[in-house]
Amino acid sequence: MSLNRKDLLGLEHLDKKDFQTVLDSVKPFKSLFTRSVKKAPTLIGKTVVTLFYEPSTRTRTSFEIAAKRLSADVVNISVSASSVVKGESLIDTGKTLEAMKADYIIIRHSMAGTPDILARNLSASIINAGDGFHEHPTQGLLDLYTMYEKKKRIEGLKILLVGDILHSRVAKSNIWALTKMGAEVAVAGPPTLIPPQIEGLGVKVHYNLDEAIKEADVVNILRIQLERQQENLFPSVHEYVELYQLTKERLAKAKSGVMVMHPGPMNRGIEISSDVADSQNAVINEQVTNGIAVRMAVLYLLKPTKVKKNASSN
- What residues line the site for another protein (CB under 8 A)? 12, 84-85, 89-91, 109, 111-114, 116-117, 120, 131-135, 169, 172, 195, 197-198, 200-201, 312, 314
State the Cα–Cα distance between residues 152 and 305, nearest whole angstrom: 34
Residue 109 or 262 with smaller CB distance to another protein: 109
Residue 108 or 172 with smaller CB distance to another protein: 172
The closest of 174, 168, 177, 278 to 223, measured between CA atoms, is 168
**Minimum CB distance to another protein, residue 119 (Å):** 10
Residue 131 or 217 with smaller CB distance to another protein: 131
Cβ count within 10 A of residue 199: 12
**Minimum CB distance to another protein, residue 185 (Å):** 15
Residue 26 or 84 with smaller CB distance to another protein: 84
What interhelical angle do 169-180 and 137-151 show, nearest 10?
Answer: 50
Residue 81 or 100 with smaller CB distance to another protein: 81
**Residues 107 and 129 sit within 8 Å (Cβ to Cβ):** yes
Angle at 292 between CA 286 and CA 294, to 5 degrees: 90
3-state secondary structure of 25: helix
Cβ count within 10 A of residue 251: 19
**Minimum CB distance to another protein, residue 1 (Å):** 28
The closest of 208, 212, 308, 222 to 264, measured between CA atoms, is 222
**Residues 199 and 139 sit within 8 Å (Cβ to Cβ):** no
Contacts of 163 (CB under 8 A, 6+ apart): 188, 189, 193, 221, 222, 223, 224, 244, 271
**Minimum CB distance to another protein, residue 252 (Å):** 33
**Minimum CB distance to another protein, residue 88 (Å):** 10
Q: Identify the burial level of 111 via C-beta atoms within 10 angstroms of its C-beta, where 0-12 means exposed, 13-18 middle and 19 or more buried.
A: middle
Q: Which amino acid is at 192?
A: T
Residue 70 or 117 with smaller CB distance to another protein: 117
**Minimum CB distance to another protein, residue 54 (Å):** 12
**Minimum CB distance to another protein, residue 42 (Å):** 31
Q: How many CA atoms lie within 13 A of 40 on its CB side?
A: 17
The Cα diameter of the chain in Å comes to 56
**Minimum CB distance to another protein, residue 226 (Å):** 18
Residue 111 or 270 with smaller CB distance to another protein: 111
Residue 201 or 241 with smaller CB distance to another protein: 201
